[in-house]
Amino acid sequence: MLIACLSVLCAQQADGSRGISRCALLGYIVTLLYVTVFSRLPVQEVRLQLIPFFEFNRIKGIGFVENMILFVPAGVLLLLSFSCRARFGYAFGFLLSLGIETLQFISHRGIADIDDLIANTLGAALGTAFCLSIKKLIFTLWGGEM
């Protein structure tokens, strides 16, 4: 599914239009905020985990991979929406994740966890690298600038 979406978005990049990818990025961020923060009920206690990989087991490992996958579109959509370097994709993933973890901490909705911050940033970095690789492949095969 990601490849199909990326193909459509890359095609719209060829004519210089970035409106579709910017709308997709905005929709992604709104959906991400809803799923990770606003769909959860607040709890009384503050839940904060600042020790990386504390009590890391198979279940937390699966959650780590899920968080990485959840943030791959962040890197892809940022690079398709704006002409920027890879480091901005990494920084965007980190700052978006930091914002979500901060909202979870302040609103008492979910656990603010350093592992999530690490996984989310890695996911955005993977998305950024994937997008750059596809752009380079398209440039090489078709000889145009995207």
Q: What is the pLDDT of residue 1?
A: 44
Q: What is the pLDDT of residue 16?
A: 60
| Rounded-to-10 torsion of CA 10, 13, 17, 18 | 60
Q: What is the pLDDT of residue 81?
A: 85
Q: What is the pLDDT of residue 134?
A: 85
Retrieve residue 136's tokens. Answer: 């380079």
**Cβ count within 10 A of residue 23:** 12
SS3 113: strand
The pLDDT tens digits along the chain (146 residues) read 455 455 555 555 555 667 788 888 999 999 999 999 999 999 888 788 888 888 788 778 898 999 999 999 999 999 888 877 888 989 999 999 999 999 999 999 988 999 999 999 999 999 999 988 888 887 777 765 55
Whole-prediction pTM = 0.82
Q: What is the pLDDT of residue 144?
A: 57
State the number of CA atoms in the 13 A half-sphere of 118 facing the CB.
14
